[in-house]
Structure 1
């Protein structure tokens, strides 16, 4: 594949002016439309902007390669633009943009845009070529320079050891528990590191909206190594027989170059199937257990979020005088969603461990945990809640593995009897007995004690809890500690402990707001690229997206971390002090109408954010020049 197959002189504009990145993108879209590649210019422009919102496409060195797959693309194409004067915008190295390429691919074109992106990024590693392209006298001369470079590179390509030019050097899968920020940040970080190293990389993102850019069998077969950067279980059976590196999404964000370098080493083990539970390395076993847990939590959270929002809306509409049947219906549906969270958690933990046969016993184990079923009278049952569902999920998954191992010793003629009768019955019996006889009685009493403890925690102890949970929300910006604090808030929400959820939410909102405010109030402490992210961070903070501060924390953890933790701790403390309450687990400032004591919540948020901003400025030294 050649760049000049998709780039024509009519789609090249030289030395144009643009006062913003959006204006430059619009010029490129118009060039693409002029080349006859589009069926709907406005729809394609919207798709380009939507892709840009997921993460910047500036690759450094004054170059940006925006791209989009769209149903408005008739046939794939490229457009190119050079800017004079250069455009100052958010770039990795702070250099203004001087040249941009826009890639357009049809919606059903699989990974065509990624192939073009890889070819283009590799070509642009030649800085001398970039300078000559920026100085080209005409669109035709611009295209001729690229054609000459591709022709000169072809003899070198014949001597490469890859089996075919289209083969990927690496392929990767990224995923995080919520399927939002970390999934795509990890993908972008790996792609940027691959471009810097001049290697080919295709990344499949397993996000909240589903799988994007899926790996095909040919992609996997042609890869030298597979990279799995995930904090929850993903499908790995397709990688059996390939060399595979497994890391967390956070590690891929923090140090993508080291992950790629590790994948390039010759001693990377071949994946033989199974997971960390079958490994001798206890670290891998812990990592795998965490992924199974996060798989269950990622499926549970939509029930918590949707149910909580419906309950909050029911309260709001009731205050506005809406008819009671409407508010009663919303409240009933929302609380019904809460009833399902523990069965769903257990079912998907079990499914993550042992696939479909484990789903039923996991679901039933979670249901028994929800009911608190014991052999005693029903009026004495107490739900074992989250901890009971956790035990049920892992027990169901591991029990299915044990039954499958035993079942392999049975004659093949009994295979259908084993899978259709023996395994379901024995697994349900085993998990049911475990929950009813062993797990529910003590954990039910533990949950009852814990609820009583929270109810009796008043004064200083309640304030300390709010401060602690707020601080924990700012500890690792969407990582395990943040998720644990958030889970504490959602579980308290189920028990109508709305003040705890308020402390958790305000604590999670502070970090992006703090760094955004610090950029605005103390600009001499931050680079131009960092200052340009201030509006984005303010919006993410207002929306309760803690991950907005992640890029700052990765660059300067010793200063950003303490500032955000102290600010979030103060916000959580003030929230509880002023008896704020939040009846929904997500929404941020947009839930202000249903939050108990809105002025107090806003005061806690403002105080924590301002303290974090000031501390960050005090810890950072002014930049020179």
Structure 2
């Protein structure tokens, strides 16, 4: 699928009337809703604004790419809009924005759609491309600009995979939280700048559709240094001993020359991988809110495929029972009354069973790298089971204790458990960093998993008491709302 396949002519706005950032967003979403590509204005707008709160999508040079992936999107769509006057969109360069691409991706958008959306990011970084878009006067001309760029790409496209001659060779990794736009814009910016500076570069992308152009051991060995332009976890141990500079993905887009020069001038520090390390923090410290969002999204992004797949299978279970029929006296078994429905229900339930451990596990992974993964998974499993002090069955306690059952603390418990596990492992890592060299190898394979899991588990027994009470209270409150409208005339 090409970008032209999702760049819809019927929603294009070639004379945008809005004069403020929010008004621009509203006008574009209204066009998407009016044409049926988005079903809920407020839900989609919330997704757009949440992305803007993290980092502005006004990328500078008059270009903005607001984007969101959520359930309000019916069909993957890219809306192109052009303002003849320019709008203050709080862009990275502080200049007015006149070209807008609003990307609307459905929840669980497939890899083909995401690959097409990634191409848009690359086109926008090409010299002269934006100026051609500024001169268009019809939707057909917009498509023609992309067709021309695509044809040029087929001739000029090349991927540098090894140093050539005496030219310096650098490797880079780009990644953003959504994996749709900034990942590929940073890739294109780095490649463009490297070409201008006479430097060979290979850029690995960690997008929503997976890892692209993956770096090989030979690439890393031959590289003079490594650039990480990422807002989420990337695989790091492979860069052990290499000069490395780490920045947010926005720096890869706006400051590629500075990043490349840090490597060429020998100003990048050699990276030392912790045993079992899998991520690296940007050398630019994040605010508390942004750090929380980054770690949370790391967990949510890994959890979502299980929620979507499991949810659809469970929905199919109810559909099968509705089609085949269920007696009135067995309605409590709806979704598992017929054998086929029960099969769908069991498979969907199995997928759902991984939801909370995955959420907590990958939050912990984002905070404390691979050693935090096991502690996070255990925290999520305990949140799901509801195990808590006073609610744990044990044989010596007799029949009374064997009948004990905890109350699941649900999503909230897993959320707290993930951050708790990550924090515990960070503390342990700092406490154990001065171990004798002969024992350092035990850190990742024994000490951190053992101590991290044990401490996190006992702390979760306390956490579950409070979180289960909150979860139960919220459920009771929502249940109390059922039928409340019956008192209204």
TM-score category (smaller protein): 0.5 to 0.7
Contact 1:88 1:97 in 2 (8 A): no
Q: 2:300 aligns with which of 290, 297, 322?
A: 297
Is the partner of 1:171 in helix, strand or coil?
A: strand
The Cα of 1:361 is off from its aligned counterpart by: 2.4
Matched, 1:428 2:453: yes
Structure 1 residue runs without a partner (length 5+): 1-20, 23-47, 64-86, 105-111, 119-161, 462-625
The equivalent residue for 2:353 is 339
Contact 1:310-1:330 at 8 Å conserved across structures: yes
**In the alignment, is the contact (CA less than 8 A) between 2:225 and 2:242 conserved in 1?**
no
Cα distance, 1:368 vs structure 2: 0.8
Whether the 8 Å CA contact 1:388–1:440 is kept in 2: the answer is yes
What is the root-mean-square deviation of aligned Cα atoms in Å? 4.7
Gaps in structure 2 of 5+ consecutive residues:
6-111, 131-139, 326-336, 393-403
CA distance in 2, matches of 1:417, 1:224: 31
Is the radius of gyration larger for structure 1 or structure 2?
A: 1
Aligned to 1:228: 228
Quick one: distance in 2 between partners of 1:272 and 1:286? 27
> CA shift at 1:331, angstroms?
1.6
8 Å Cα contact 2:172/2:228 also seen in 1? yes
Q: CA deviation at 1:330?
A: 0.8
Question: What corresponds to 1:260 in structure 2?
Answer: 256
Q: Which residue of 1 aligns with 2:143?
A: 90
Following the alignment from structure 2 to structure 1, what is the Cα–Cα distance between the partners of residues 310 and 203?
Answer: 33
Q: Is the Cα contact below 8 Å between 1:370 and 1:385 reproduced in 2?
A: yes
TM-score by length of 1: 0.44
Deviation per CA, 1:277-311: give whole Å up to 9, x if none.
98997527765554443332222111111111111
Count residues in correspondence: 334
CA distance in 2: counterparts of 1:447 and 1:53, whole angstroms: 39
Name the CA shift for 1:408/1:310 in 2 (closer, same or farther; >3 Å): same
Question: Is the contact made by 1:184 and 1:205 (CA closer than 8 Å) also made in structure 2?
Answer: yes
Q: If each structure's helix is expressed as a fraction of its own residues, which one has the higher value?
A: 1
TM-score calculated relative to the size of structure 2: 0.54
Q: CA deviation at 1:356?
A: 4.3
Change (3 A) 1:421 1:226: closer
Q: Which moved more, 1:443-452 or 1:318-327?
A: 318-327
Shift of 1:351: 3.4
Q: Does 1:447 align with 2:471?
A: yes
Q: 2:319 aligns with which of 316, 320, 332?
A: 316
Deviation larger for 310-319 or 50-59? 50-59
Distance 1:96 1:318, change over 3 A: same
Q: Equivalents in 1 of 2:342, 2:190: separation in Å?
A: 48
Task: Describe the shift of the 1:450–1:196 C-alpha distance in structure 2 as closer, same or farther (beyond 3 A).
Answer: farther
Is 1:186–1:229's contact at 8 Å kept on the other side of the alignment? yes
Distance apart, 1:415 and its partner CA = 6.4
Q: Matched residues in 1 for 2:323 and 2:204: separation?
A: 45
SS in 2 for 1:90: helix
Task: Return the offset for 1:199.
Answer: 5.8
* 1:446 to partner: Cα distance: 1.5
For the residue of structure 2 that corresponds to 1:308, the secondary structure is: helix
Matched residue of 1:393: which SS? helix
* CA distance 1:242–1:454, shift in 2 (3 Å): farther
1:382 alignment partner, one of 407, 414, 434: 407
The offset of 1:233, in angstroms, is: 0.6
Q: Deviations over 1:322-369 (max 9, x none)?
A: 892111111222123222211122223333444444333222111111
Partner of 2:424, secondary structure, is: helix
The secondary structure found in structure 1 opposite 2:174 is: strand
Conservation of the 8 A alpha-carbon contact between 2:168 and 2:199 = no
